[in-house]
Amino acid sequence: MEEKRQKYMDPVCCGGASEQYPLSSDQIRSWKSAGAILLSDLLPVELTDALRADVASISGNENTRFGDESDLTFPSSSKALNEASVHLRLIHLVTQLLGTDDIRLSQAEAWKKSGIDSTKFSSRKPTAPHDQRIHCDYPNHTLVHPSNWDTPDSVSVILYLSDYEECGGGTAVVTRSGKADPAYKSGTLVLTPGVTGHWINDREMAESHYKSKLPEIHSFRESLYRREVVARYKRGTVLVYRQDLWHRGTRIKEGTTRYVMNITYRRKDAEWIGSWNCGWAKRNYTLCWPERRLEATIAKMTPIQRTVLGFPAPGHKYWNDVTLAAVSARYAPFNMDLEPYRKQMRDTKKASKTVGCDSYTEKDVGVTSIRSRRVEAMPWAMPLLGLVIALAWKIVGVNAV
């Protein structure tokens, strides 16, 4: 039998015109059609180098299990990890792909994966991640099913902190080839372990199960393996993909370790996408005290970076004189700049004054105007109201005697 010749995906530079628009229009169209793009220069080299060093130091000599809450999940003692999680270039990329700046961070964690020898590999468990079965990520992130392809719910990112030539382990993906692609036709995304068939992580064991129990599904899945291309990454490379993309992890070279970080952003209104990590405020309570690391980190962020964590944006109805003063007091030790929130409040009040109302919203102003017109249409109304009030006071006065 002829051995399959491996196909590769190589990284390309961001083609956008500015920091705020890191992707070109062609790259946006490509991601929206194919479902994946491999970028070489999204984040600063200094940041990815610092993050690599921190992940290696924090993880120590033990494998960090993907999905575990630890100091390798945001917020972390690693400033580099915190910075990468909400880096403005990454946020701008996501807003370009989802077509909205109203987004939320739902996953941010780093981890390492080490290669094992053939003896250990032969005794691996079905849940082992060394040579993964092909799958989609959505069952781990939502209790439903992804939206239609043309209206993606989220953007997922793998930030590689190692080099493919050194340790292997490139993510294999099956990019979508047009709307008629049989791999992505309606109903196919459920043909993944844990949704159809047993949840088995290992490729050989999963496909053996399908072959014996569900041969038609096995045949479909084999066609996916024949199409896969492997990300040939370098340190700092970013794979931008989707939760409804077929992909899998491949084996790491024996004696080497691959370091990565997984980050996911969703549209704010895609509430069916759950938070992979525990709540940021809970981590602030359980892992960040007494140093209050999360609050110190938030204080240094820009408003848009805070907003992706669920912090109310400038102009949000949450903000008023009372809440602004209270939040200012909470973050006072960290010198948080709340001027953008104050300015938006001032601008809102100024706008209200231009319509002749200091304390009402536009809706209230509209109601007041309607009431005024009603009084003008009934000139007898105010005198009658005065007479009623006078009689009422007279009655009260009599009863009070």
pLDDT of residue 371: 39
**Phi (first) and psi of residue 106, to 5 degrees:** -120, -10
| Neighbour tally for 163: CB within 10 Å | 16
Query: Mean of the pLDDT values across residues 138-150?
Result: 95
Distance, in Å, from the CA atom of 284 to the CA atom of 177, rounded to the nearest integer, reads: 43
**Confidence band of 103 (pLDDT split at 50, 70, 90):** very high
Nearest to 75 by CA among 387, 333, 292, 359: 292
Residues constituting the chain: 401
* Sequence-ordered list of residues with C-beta below 8 angstroms from that of 180, at least 6 positions apart, any chain: none
What is the DSSP secondary-structure string of 359-399? S--HHHHHHHHHHHHHHHH-TTHHHHHHHHHHHHHHHHHHH
User: Which stretch of 236-240, 275-279, 299-303 has the lowest confidence by average pLDDT?
Assistant: 275-279
Between 257 and 367, residue with greater pLDDT = 257
User: Is the CB of residue 14 less than 8 Å from the CB of residue 22?
Assistant: yes
Nearest to 334 by CA among 285, 303, 306, 293: 293
Distance, in Å, from the CA atom of 297 to the CA atom of 331, rounded to the nearest integer, reads: 11
Q: Please report where in the chains the tokens 């930030």 appear, as a residue.
A: 159
The DSSP bridge pattern shows strands 103-114 and 257-267 to be: antiparallel
Nearest to 74 by CA among 87, 61, 59, 84: 84
pLDDT of residue 4: 65
Q: Which two tokens stand for residue 388?
A: 């009623």
Query: Mean of the pLDDT values across residues 370-388?
Result: 44
Determine the residue type at 226.
Answer: R
* Sequence-ordered list of residues with C-beta below 8 angstroms from that of 356, at least 6 positions apart, any chain: 365
pLDDT of residue 51: 98
Query: Mean of the pLDDT values across residues 216-221?
Result: 97
Residue 386 has pLDDT above 80, yes or no: no
pLDDT of residue 280: 84
Strand ranges across the sheet with 103-114: 37-39, 238-241, 154-160, 257-267, 103-114
Q: Rounded to whole angstroms, what are the CA distances from 125 to 61, 211, 258, 318?
A: 21, 19, 20, 50
The burial of 3, by beta-carbon neighbours within 10 Å (0-12 exposed, 13-18 middle, 19 or more buried), is given as exposed
Q: Which two tokens stand for residue 203?
A: 């490729």
Percent of the chain with pLDDT over 70: 85
Can you point out the beta strands (E) in 238-380? 238-241, 246-248, 257-267
DSSP state of 278: P
pLDDT of residue 165: 97
Cα 174-275-58 angle, rounded to 5 deg: 85
pLDDT of residue 120: 95
Residue 49 has pLDDT above 70, yes or no: yes
How far apart are the two ends of the chain, measured CA to CA in Å? 111
Residue 210 has pLDDT above 90, yes or no: yes
* Sequence-ordered list of residues with C-beta below 8 angstroms from that of 314, at least 6 positions apart, any chain: 303, 340, 341, 343, 344
Nearest to 298 by CA among 341, 337, 339: 337
What residues does 241 pair with on adjacent strands?
A: 156
Residue 382 has pLDDT above 70, yes or no: no
